[in-house]
Amino acid sequence: MFIVCVTVFVKPEYRDAFIEASLENARNTRNEPKNLRFDVLQCLDDPDRFFLYEVYQDETGMNDHKTTSHYQKWRETVEEMMAKPREGIKHKNLFPITEESFLSK
């Protein structure tokens, strides 16, 4: 599995629009063949801080996602809404054990 965790700080006046755009992107992403999970999370202590948790079968799945029209639309739509550039950190799965994580050891 290939996991991307993205932190986004949104300008307060764009909070609702960001949520709407992100949910649309997430719903469409879940229909991609190599997407396994896409969570949109909002921080309880800071409602303008969001965390996107994306899981793909492999790195190719994430790269394919970035070429989709729904991702491009999301990226262009939310760009001006961000208080600062988003931070995406890539991870590999260690647990729960999957065939891929077992084979990569």
pLDDT at 17 over 90: yes
The CATH class given to the 2-103 domain equals: alpha beta
Q: What is the mean pLDDT of the chain?
A: 93
Q: What is the pTM of this model?
A: 0.89
Amino acid 96: pLDDT: 83
Q: Are 10 and 83 in contact (CB under 8 A)?
A: yes
Question: What separation in angstroms does the CA of 56 have from each of 11, 23, 30?
Answer: 29, 17, 10
DSSP class of residue 49 equals E
Q: Are 25 and 74 in contact (CB under 8 A)?
A: yes
Confidence label for 105 from pLDDT (cuts 50, 70 and 90): very low
**Domain ranges (residues) in the chain:** 2-103
pLDDT > 70 in the chain, percent: 92
Amino acid 95: pLDDT: 87
